[in-house]
Amino acid sequence: MPWTRRQFIAEAFSEIGIGSDFSLSADMLESARVRLDAMMAEWNGRGLRLGYPIGANPTDGDLDDVTNVPDSANEAVFLNLAIKIAPSFGRTLMPETKASARTALNTVSLRNTLPPVMQFPSSLPRGAGQKPYRNDTSPFFPEPTDPLLAGEDGEISFD
């Protein structure tokens, strides 16, 4: 089952050594939620899309909203969130925590980022094995037919 924002924040505070849910004030939770949303928006901008619901406004979102982050990425999220919020609360993280966060993020990046899909240009020869009687008379690849896409967001418009 996907984690909620509150669960990520509680694990991050636990990692930096700040108490349980009972000792966290509403301001601390809200500050951490904003940083979590900002971190996930940054990852989304880098092409690491995990299904995290990013609001249009920093005040959007509830702590108990389900995040839809896959279980394989949970550790990367809360360890990197701990790195983001630790200085605000006067905490220094152990080098092992930073190394674990880096390793977890690299694992998630390798698992979730895909190479860009490209079409062959029409100036690229098909090769010696492409005889005219097999396909057509052109020794080159055909013109690209699909429109240029902007990732998951849709087509690029030049209007």
Instruction: List residues bridging with 110 in a β-sheet.
Output: none
Tell me if residue 118 falls in helix, strand or coil: coil
Cα distances from 25 to residues 22, 77, 138, in angstroms, run 8, 21, 70
Report pTM: 0.70
Q: Which amino acid is at 115?
A: P
- Concatenating the DSSP letter of every residue in 99-140 gives HHHHHHHHHHHHHH--PPP-PPPTTSB--TT--TTTS-S-SB
Q: What is the pLDDT along the chain (159 residues), one digit of tens a residue?
A: 789 999 999 999 999 988 765 678 888 999 999 999 999 999 988 888 888 988 778 777 888 889 989 999 999 999 999 999 999 989 999 999 999 999 999 999 988 766 667 778 888 877 766 666 665 667 777 777 765 556 555 555 555
Architecture, CATH, for domain 5-112? Orthogonal Bundle (1.10)
**What pLDDT does residue 148 have?**
59
Per domain, the residue ranges of the chain are 5-112, 116-159
**What pLDDT does residue 139 have?**
74
**What pLDDT does residue 124 have?**
82
